[in-house]
Amino acid sequence: MLKKRIAVLVSGGGTNLEALLKAERGGMIPHGEIVLVIASNSAAYALKRAENYGVDHAVSEKKVLGAEGFEARIQALLEEHRVDVIILAGFLSILSAEFTSRWKDRIINVHPSLIPSFCGAGAYGLRVHEMALSYGVKVTGATVHFVNEVPDGGKIILQKAVEVKEDDTPETLQRRVMEEAEWKLLPAAAELVCAALAEGKEI
């Protein structure tokens, strides 16, 4: 079976990347193979995680290359590695509509809430969990969706709910959402997309 080639785009510590790499090595993504990690930040610990797993890794920094050069380098790296699917795993740079249109239904992103709740401008990282606690919801979760032209605007692939506890802080809630939702959803969504592409089906 010819596996679909996956690139993971990251900006920070790479815990979601680690979950994907463990899942792949554990046989949970049989139709996909992680062949490249691209970081938007040269200091991202995710690069070390990629190195530890023997995965090719590179950096593209917008502050160094400018917006056009940043995306041009990413595109060149994707083409060089013959990538089929892009996974945004804690990638904090916004990709342009021009870029995402070239990868329609090939870019998947994880968001730490149940979309359409707590998403959109300014809703990322710990802020999402602060918003959930401030609003007083009893259930939150995570969503994996396609990125087509606008953030949080693509078709939802998978969602998983997570309980909010009375004594939660943004940090404890973030950790539970990662452990109970994000780290499970990302590998499952990667396999769904790669399997569909391998079999010539639509998601």
- Output the pLDDT for position 150: 52
Phi-psi region of 58 (alpha: psi -120 to 50; beta: other; left: phi over 0): beta
Digit-coded pLDDT (tens) for 78-110: 999 999 999 999 898 889 989 998 998 899 999
- What does the mean pLDDT of the chain come to? 93
2 vs 43 pLDDT, higher one: 43
Judge if pTM exceeds 0.75. yes
Minimal CA–CA distance to 106: which of 182, 194, 29?
194
Q: Which of 31, 57, 81, 111 is catalytic?
A: 111
SS3 85: strand
How many of the other CB atoms lie within 10 Å of CB of 116? 10
Digit-coded pLDDT (tens) for 124-149: 889 999 999 999 999 999 999 998 75
- Output the pLDDT for position 149: 56
Digit-coded pLDDT (tens) for 111-122: 999 999 998 888
CB 144 within 8 A of CB 157: yes
Q: For residue 111, indicate whether it is catalytic.
A: yes
Q: Which residues, at least 6 apart from 164, have a Cβ–Cβ distance to it below 8 Å?
A: 132, 133, 137, 138, 139, 140, 173
